[in-house]
């Protein structure tokens, strides 16, 4: 059973989100014109008040013109400043009551500022994409922007017919009228606001492998000139999907899509049921295959099982990093132990001032967090042994599917699979800045011939 853990404001981003209510569903109807970069939208938000009545509440929305706000179909008073849309309904929402909010907005979308540069909506040379982690979602729609407030989504987007629209979830309809096409996507799984991904561009769509009965449909959306390189670089993604389902449990969503933009991106970005790559991540030589594994693994770790707040980001990135090592190990490359040793050597020569369980906002995306997060997972594997470790992983994913978790949730879960206490291990790796010794126990999952070795 999924557990939602979100008692108060996010300590790293206290201005984002409103913990006094939670959203059940977003229905977004958007019209986007790439030339002038013009976006107009209507959001219908179904929400539930918390334990206290709501005389007013907050949504996050960037610098757009707000045309109308209604609560339960009635006009509501509102103010819109500094990325906060404060709404005061004519009548307070009762504690525990369901209510609907309707917002109309329009303007020229652009990234929101952050310590890591612009986040969210990005206008491309010919199209647009959305990469919101961690606080970019308000750059294009009004939302309760906190990772633990997960909701289902229906997104309808109308664009000129020359453009394809890709969003996470299942494409329900595609309707062309005159020179425009409306694409309607449905994502029924609980989704964090920052994980609502979107790409608008001129893409060619390909099927990645034959999913077969009960398989996971996997599609790629690529600029036509990059298709030859993409076909080689992503050829083993279906094998990754097979391996990760074996190790982590059933893929948690209906479909999986990857988009390669014609422009370069600093890093690939995961979204719910969707990952975004730059043209620089396609080289025709599988040079970035570890990142393909990393983004796919996030569908289990980070997307389906989400963090309650950003202090716990290592749970997303550490497991995705370790999935890279597991793929390498199973596909004929270096073992996880070899990767762990290399990561440990690298970290030992860097500053020892990172507390993994609470890294601080400035260090959320520090490469040391990714590497040390992977080492924590490896240390747990060595302590449990493979049989108990992979049972623990599958249990973690199944128990918290669609929910949100904390570091304490994970340590308590892992302890149930251990024959000896893990308190010292977790204290050393998660709470103490100094790097603990590398676990020396060699562990290796047997290779299977169905997964071709690296270079084939």
Q: What is the CATH number of the domain that holds 349?
A: 1.10.390.10
| 317 in a known ligand binding site | yes
| 294 in a known ligand binding site | yes
Task: Tell me, yes or no, whether 73 and 172 share the same domain.
Answer: yes
How many Å apart are CA 397 and CA 401, to the nearest integer? Answer: 6
End-to-end CA, the chain:
41
What pLDDT is stored for residue 94 in this prediction? 98
**CB-count exposure of residue 225 (10 Å: 0-12, 13-18, 19+):** exposed
How many Å apart are CA 191 and CA 184, to the nearest integer? Answer: 17
Report CA Rg, the chain. Answer: 22
What pLDDT is stored for residue 170 in this prediction? 96
Per-residue pLDDT of the chain (456 residues; tens, 9 = 90+): 454 444 578 999 999 999 999 999 999 999 999 999 999 999 999 999 999 999 999 999 999 999 999 999 999 999 999 999 999 999 999 999 999 999 999 999 999 999 999 999 999 999 999 999 999 999 999 999 999 999 999 999 999 999 999 999 999 999 999 999 999 999 999 999 999 999 999 999 999 988 877 889 999 999 999 999 999 999 999 999 999 999 999 999 999 999 999 999 999 999 999 999 999 999 999 999 999 999 999 999 999 999 999 999 999 999 999 999 999 999 999 999 999 999 999 999 999 999 999 999 999 999 999 999 999 999 999 999 999 999 999 999 999 999 999 999 999 999 999 999 999 999 999 999 999 999 876 566 655 544 444 332
Q: What are the C-alpha distances in Å from 375 to residues 21, 291, 299, 318, 352?
A: 37, 17, 20, 8, 15
Do 199 and 166 contact (CB within 8 A), yes or no? yes
Asked if residue 439 belongs to a domain, the reply is: no
Distance of CA 280 to the CA centre of its chain: 21
Number of domains in the chain: 3
**Length, in residues, of the chain:** 456
Q: What are the C-alpha distances in Å from 403 to residues 5, 151, 303, 424, 449?
A: 8, 10, 9, 27, 35
How many Å apart are CA 146 and CA 194, to the nearest integer? Answer: 8
Closest CA to 183 of 278, 261, 257: 257
> Which residues are CB-neighbours of 84 under 8 A, at least 6 positions away?
15, 58, 59, 60, 61
Task: Tell me, yes or no, whether 62 and 109 share the same domain.
Answer: yes
Distance of CA 190 to the CA centre of its chain: 12
What pLDDT is stored for residue 450 in this prediction? 44
What pLDDT is stored for residue 9 in this prediction? 84
How many Å apart are CA 143 and CA 26, to the nearest integer? Answer: 8
Of 251, 266, 299, which residue constitutes the final position of a domain? Answer: 299
What pLDDT is stored for residue 444 in this prediction? 60
Task: Tell me, yes or no, whether 339 and 318 share the same domain.
Answer: yes
Angle formed by the axes of helices 367-384 and 314-330, nearest 10°: 60
* 134 preceded by a cis bond (ω within 30 of 0): yes
Task: Tell me, yes or no, whether 38 and 116 share the same domain.
Answer: yes
pTM (predicted TM-score)? 0.94
Task: Tell me, yes or no, whether 275 and 230 share the same domain.
Answer: yes
Asked if residue 445 belongs to a domain, the reply is: no
Of 148, 183, 202, which residue constitutes the final position of a domain? Answer: 202
Asked if residue 449 belongs to a domain, the reply is: no
Task: Tell me, yes or no, whether 248 and 337 share the same domain.
Answer: no
Cα-Cα-Cα-Cα torsion 322, 327, 332, 335, nearest 10 degrees, comes to: 10
Task: Tell me, yes or no, whether 313 and 335 share the same domain.
Answer: yes
Do 289 and 230 contact (CB within 8 A), yes or no? no
Task: Tell me, yes or no, whether 272 and 128 share the same domain.
Answer: no
Asked if residue 331 belongs to a domain, the reply is: yes
Element (H, E) at 30: strand 21-33
295 is catalytic: yes
Asked if residue 446 belongs to a domain, the reply is: no
What pLDDT is stored for residue 244 in this prediction? 98
102 is catalytic: no
Give phi and psi for 192, each to the nearest 5.
Answer: -70, 150
Domain limits for position 325: 306-431
**CB-count exposure of residue 361 (10 Å: 0-12, 13-18, 19+):** middle
Q: Give me the catalytic one of 122, 289, 295, 324.
A: 295
Task: Tell me, yes or no, whether 110 and 184 share the same domain.
Answer: yes
Of 166, 182, 202, which residue constitutes the final position of a domain? Answer: 202
CB-based burial, 391-404: b 16+ in 10 Å, e otherwise: ebbbebbbebbbbb
Q: Give me the catalytic one of 141, 256, 370, 417.
A: 370
Do 260 and 222 contact (CB within 8 A), yes or no? yes
Task: Tell me, yes or no, whether 170 and 223 share the same domain.
Answer: no
How many Å apart are CA 341 and CA 434, to the nearest integer? Answer: 16
What pLDDT is stored for residue 26 in this prediction? 98
Q: What 8-state DSSP symbol labels residue 428? A: I
> Which residues are CB-neighbours of 267 under 8 A, at least 6 positions away?
291
> Which residues are CB-neighbours of 192 under 8 A, at least 6 positions away?
146, 147, 148, 149, 150, 272, 303, 306
């Amino acid at each position: 059973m999924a557990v939602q853990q979100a008692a108060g404001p996010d300590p790293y981003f206290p201005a984002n989100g409103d913990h006094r209510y939670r959203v059940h569903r977003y229905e977004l109807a958007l019209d986007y014109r790439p030339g002038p970069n013009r976006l107009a939208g209507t959001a219908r938000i179904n929400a539930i008040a918390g334990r206290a009545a709501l005389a007013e509440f907050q949504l996050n929305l960037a610098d757009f013109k707000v045309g109308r706000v209604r609560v339960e179909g009635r006009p509501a008073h509102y103010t819109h400043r500094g990325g906060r849309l404060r709404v005061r309904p004519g009548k307070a929402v009762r504690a525990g009551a369901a209510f609907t909010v309707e917002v109309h907005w329009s303007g020229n979308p652009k990234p929101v500022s952050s310590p890591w540069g612009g986040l969210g909506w990005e206008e491309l040379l010919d199209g647009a994409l959305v990469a919101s982690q961690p606080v970019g979602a308000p750059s294009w729609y009004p939302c309760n922007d906190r990772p633990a407030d997960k909701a289902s989504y229906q997104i309808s987007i109308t664009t000129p017919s020359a453009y394809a629209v890709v969003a996470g979830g299942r494409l329900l309809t595609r309707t062309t009228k005159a020179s425009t096409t409306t694409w309607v996507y449905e994502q029924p799984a609980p989704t964090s606001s920052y994980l609502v991904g979107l790409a608008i561009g001129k893409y060619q769509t390909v099927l990645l492998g034959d999913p077969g009965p009960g398989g996971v449909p996997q599609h790629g959306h690529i600029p036509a000139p990059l298709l030859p390189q993409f076909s080689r670089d992503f050829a083993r993604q279906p094998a990754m999907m097979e391996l990760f389902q074996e190790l982590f449990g059933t893929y948690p969503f209906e479909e999986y899509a990857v988009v390669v933009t014609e422009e370069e991106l600093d890093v690939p970005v995961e979204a719910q049921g969707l990952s975004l790559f730059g043209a620089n991540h396609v080289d025709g030589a599988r040079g970035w295959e570890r990142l393909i594994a990393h983004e796919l693994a996030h569908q289990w770790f980070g997307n389906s099982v989400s963090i309650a707040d950003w202090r716990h980001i290592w749970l997303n990135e550490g497991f995705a990093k370790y999935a890279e090592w597991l793929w390498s190990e199973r596909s004929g490359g270096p073992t996880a132990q070899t990767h762990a040793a290399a990561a440990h050597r690298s970290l030992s020569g860097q500053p020892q001032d990172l507390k993994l369980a609470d890294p601080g906002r400035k260090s959320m995306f520090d490469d040391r967090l990714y590497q040390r997060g992977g080492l924590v997972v490896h240390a747990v594997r060595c302590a449990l042994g493979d049989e108990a470790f992979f049972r623990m992983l599958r249990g973690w994913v199944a128990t918290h599917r669609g929910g949100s978790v904390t570091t304490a949730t994970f340590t308590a879960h892992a302890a149930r699979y251990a024959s000896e206490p893990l308190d010292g291990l977790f204290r050393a790796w998660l709470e103490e800045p100094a790097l603990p010794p590398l676990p020396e126990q060699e562990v290796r999952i047997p290779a299977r011939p169905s997964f071709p070795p690296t270079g084939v």
